[in-house]
Amino acid sequence: MRFKFIIVDDHPLFRGALKLALSSQTSDAEIIEIGDLETAKKLILDDADIDLVLLDLALSGVSGLTGLITLRALQPTVPIAIVSATEDAITIRTALALGASGFIPKSSSPEQIGHAINSILRGEIWSPLDGRDDGELDQELIELINRMRRLTPQQGRVLGMMADGMLNKQIAHELNVSEATIKAHVSAVLFKLGVESRTQAVIRLSRFQSESQPATAVAELQ
């Protein structure tokens, strides 16, 4: 079986380390290295037959977990693992709650990275927090994550384009649909996020733009 992997990281040296880790898991793999989110978006949009995406949390021009949200909206069935120098428990739990298939700290040894990748390829969710109880998410963040989960892939794409400042007409052109369809998507996004305006929706999305999320109360994801 031939695997297809995509590494999205703007540091060539670490891309090389990840490539070695991926190669150690299979002798038959296509490994594509990408240094920016825009190129990754085009590739993932055109090809859903991808076994795993390894996504750097701190890509140039990308804020926090918005890169994960963007790519999952394009192809929700493609597994995405976050690879990051950030090891904050709140960030890790937030990424997994948003649908990441794993969170691999960059401080991990090659053996640990290989083990994590192998676990994810088996369909498991890999976390360095297994067995730990720190990093509980506050209730407001949990509610927002649950609301984000209710967005369809197309609604997620529309929200991302709204955050980029695009007007309905521009979004319609980009997605090759009518402006009326986009208006319906925008209305659905506002309803599901519990807001009344595009500005408020973008502000809610901006909660995920910082790499570390604040924890103000103990709660569990429902």
Q: What is the mean pLDDT of residues 127-151?
A: 89
Domains annotated for the chain, with CATH where assigned, are 3-121 (3.40.50.2300), 139-208 (1.10.10.10)
pLDDT of residue 216: 36
Ramachandran region, residue 61 (left: φ > 0; alpha: ψ -120 to 50; beta: rest) = left
- 174-203: average pLDDT: 96
Could you count the other beta carbons within 10 Å of the beta carbon of residue 168? Answer: 19
Got the DSSP string for 158-192? HHHHHHTT--HHHHHHHHTS-HHHHHHHHHHHHHH
The pTM for the full model equals 0.86
Q: How many helices (H) and strands (E) does the chain have?
A: 10, 5
195-217: b (≥16 Cβ within 10 Å) or e: beebeebbebbebbeebebebee
| C-alpha dihedral, 145 to 56 to 63 to 75, nearest 10° | -50
Task: Judge contact between 59 and 152, C-beta under 8 A.
Answer: no
The closest of 74, 122, 120, 129 to 100, measured between CA atoms, is 120
pLDDT digits (tens, 9 = 90+) for 195-210: 999 999 999 998 888 6
> For residue 26, is pLDDT > 80?
no
**In this predicted model, what pLDDT tens digit does every residue of 59-116 receive, in sequence order?**
887 878 989 999 999 999 999 999 998 889 999 999 999 999 999 998 988 888 889 9
CB-neighbour burial class of residue 118 (10 A; exposed 0-12, middle 13-18, buried 19+) = middle
